[in-house]
Amino acid sequence: MIVNFGCGANPATGDSGYLNIDGSLTVRLAKLPFPASFFGTRADFIGVIRAQGIRYGTADRLKFPPNSLDGFYASHVLEHLPRRRCEDLLARLLVWLKPSGVLRVVLPDLKRFAASYVAGKTNAYELVASTHLAEDGLSWWEIAFGHSQHRWMYDADSFSQILVRLGYRDVREHSFGEGRLPALSALDIPSRQAESFYIEAGK
């Protein structure tokens, strides 16, 4: 069993061993007995949710039996959690993973954004906008449907330190599409590669 948490419109496909989970309100709306076209700009996502059986779930609501997961994948989702809630999820996940289980996390790389700003490649406005640490005038509609701001950001070193402190072992940075469990690294999204770092850890 591999959990793809916060999968959005990029769920794992073609394998019954994957469990796609997302916390967007759209996942709940997809259960309503209306055609996808009824949902306007969300129609394509509604179609993906229904076709791939994406389940609704938030970090606080996730729960699995101890030693039950072979892998857990989270791409560009943990930065939307306050730091303490993120660490709480990671601590619980350590219990859910099998002894041979693997965690793979993909996050926007704060160091890359900062380096670009310091080098003069981006200005202050672009730095703030690219990190999403502040959002100007988001409507309740945008927030409810998944366009929420980032609550905390990391680089590979700071996130690795959290994992080590929580008790994870063999914490390593990897490259796009490369890792110790191909079923996890196959989920990497090409459009995210330039802005991301990739971390894996074991139990």
118 domain residue, yes or no: no
Mean pLDDT by runs of 10 across the 203 residues of the chain is: 93 84 89 86 88 93 96 96 96 97 98 96 92 75 67 96 98 96 94 96 96
126 domain residue, yes or no: no
The confidence score (pLDDT) of residue 142 equals 62
The confidence score (pLDDT) of residue 164 equals 98
* Residue range of the domain that includes 39: 2-108+153-202
113 domain residue, yes or no: no
Domain of 6, CATH number, reads 3.40.50.150
The confidence score (pLDDT) of residue 98 equals 97
194 domain residue, yes or no: yes
Structure tokens at 171: 């914490």
Q: Could you tell me the pTM of the whole model? A: 0.92
Region of residue 14 (left: phi > 0; alpha: psi -120 to 50; beta: else):
left
The confidence score (pLDDT) of residue 88 equals 97
Count up the domains in the chain and report the number.
1
The confidence score (pLDDT) of residue 162 equals 98
The confidence score (pLDDT) of residue 22 equals 94
139 domain residue, yes or no: no
125 domain residue, yes or no: no
Backbone angles phi and psi of 28, in degrees to 5: -70, -40
Instruction: With residue 21 as reference, give the H or E element that holds it.
Output: strand 18-22
DSSP-assigned states of every residue in 153-186:
-B-HHHHHHHHHHHT-EEEEEE-TT-SS-HHHHT
